Amino acid sequence: MDVSELAARYDEELRTSDYADVDASANGLQVGSGDWTVEHVAFAVDAAVETIEAAVSAGADALVTHHGLSWGGIERVTGRDFDRVAPLIREDVALYVSHLPLDGHTSLGNAAGLADRLGLAGRERFGAMGSEYIGLAGTADALDPAGVRETLETDLDHGAGGVRHLDFGPDAIKDVAVVTGSGADWFDAAVERGADAFVTGEGKQKLYHQAKEAGVHVYLAGHYATETFGVNALADLADDWGVETTVLDAPTGI
């Protein structure tokens, strides 16, 4: 398979073009020639020197990440962008990126993976971004608030970080809304939905009082930790296509 074919398969599965107007990230193939042959793909949450070098070491022809290098265009291929682009080009490693399409995909996505861990049922798309969605919401059978925290703490890859629980919700959690990464701006939508708990990655100062006043549990489980599901699912897809895969672990603890 060549790089163009790999990118086309992912683009179709992830509906890349449908997110073009709502995502600052230039999703799809970001660096490299479409003609290169792909036999081994590496996967990581972030495109950074650490992961790019690891991909090269693993012998990968392509690196697939959730966070890429072009957010509205690379102004200059200098400094940090040079340090990241140069090894990709020198070592013939293509970079494929899927940001919001991978957050919101209903089965492969980050929110979907997190919902799996929490055992959510009756799932609906959640976290509107223009005409698309970047999260999921679902129902549960009276989850214990401390138990949810424990699940997130033990099942996710936190690096030096952990889970912060704003413990302001009811004793039994029956409805959960999830927006992985930096999802604080969708907290009000979770309240409007009637969610008992809102799970996201990074916190924002305003969330504390918002949660306290709304009487809703908030779990800040880490940006990195909540976003490993998607790239793992894309690795599984590549496995199915007969491509060798390596999933890189580089937790930020943030």
Point out the annotated binding site: 66-67, 103, 223, 227
Cα–Cα distance, 177 to 136 (Å, whole number): 6
Q: Closest approach of Cβ 33 to its own copies, in Å?
A: 6
The footprint of its own copies (CB under 8 A) covers: 26, 28-34, 46, 48-50, 67, 70, 72-80, 82-83, 85-86, 89-90, 160-161, 164, 181-182, 201-210, 212-214, 220, 223-224, 252-254
Structure tokens at 65: 């990440």
Q: Closest approach of Cβ 141 to its own copies, in Å?
A: 28
Cα–Cα distance, 82 to 140 (Å, whole number): 47
The two beta strands, 40-46 and 244-247, are parallel
Q: Closest approach of Cβ 146 to its own copies, in Å?
A: 14
Query: Closest CB to its own copies among 35 and 171?
Result: 35
User: What are the C-alpha distances in Å from 220 to residues 31, 70, 104, 159?
Assistant: 32, 27, 18, 14
Please enumerate, by residue number, every residue annotated as part of a binding site for a divalent metal cation.
66-67, 103, 223, 227
3-state secondary structure of 207: helix
Query: Closest CB to its own copies among 26 and 58?
Result: 26
Q: Closest approach of Cβ 204 to its own copies, in Å?
A: 7
Q: Closest approach of Cβ 93 to its own copies, in Å?
A: 12
Could you tell me how many residues make up the chain?
254
- Residue tagged 């990440």 (tokens): 65
E strands of 130-213, at which residues? Answer: 132-143, 164-166, 173-178, 197-200
Residue 247's identity, in one-letter code, is V
Cα–Cα distance, 71 to 144 (Å, whole number): 39
Cα–Cα distance, 235 to 44 (Å, whole number): 10
Query: Closest CB to its own copies among 127 and 201?
Result: 201
* Residue 122 neighbours by CB distance under 10 Å: 9
Query: Closest CB to its own copies among 151 and 200?
Result: 200
